Amino acid sequence: MNTERHLGEGKTGVSLFANQEIKRVLHMAAISSVRYNEELKDYCQRKVSEGKNKMSVINAVRNKLLHRIVAVIRRGTPYVPELNKN
């Protein structure tokens, strides 16, 4: 069995250097957010209705959550969802 991966052969995978625990927690947070957060639930339903793959949408939600986390840490203030709404 050839264990080398060449560009363009087989499925691409997550880096072995990725922190699996953080990825797992972010994934569960994204699933929970899509279920209970109205803004992210609407986003997910809209993207799926546009024909996007459900896992791609979950990945986008994870990215949105990560951006929010980083913004809160950088600003040093709590997340306030009403700031984005007019």
Instruction: Tell me the CB-side half-sphere exposure of residue 85, using CA atoms within 13 A.
Output: 4
Residues 6+ apart with CB under 8 A from 57: 43, 44, 47, 48
In this predicted structure, what is the pLDDT of residue 62? 96
Cβ pair 41, 58 in contact under 8 A: no
- 41 has a pLDDT exceeding 80: yes
**Of 34-43, 50-59, 73-82, which gets the smallest average pLDDT?**
73-82
* pTM for this entry: 0.74
Lowest mean pLDDT among 18-22, 33-37, 58-62: 18-22
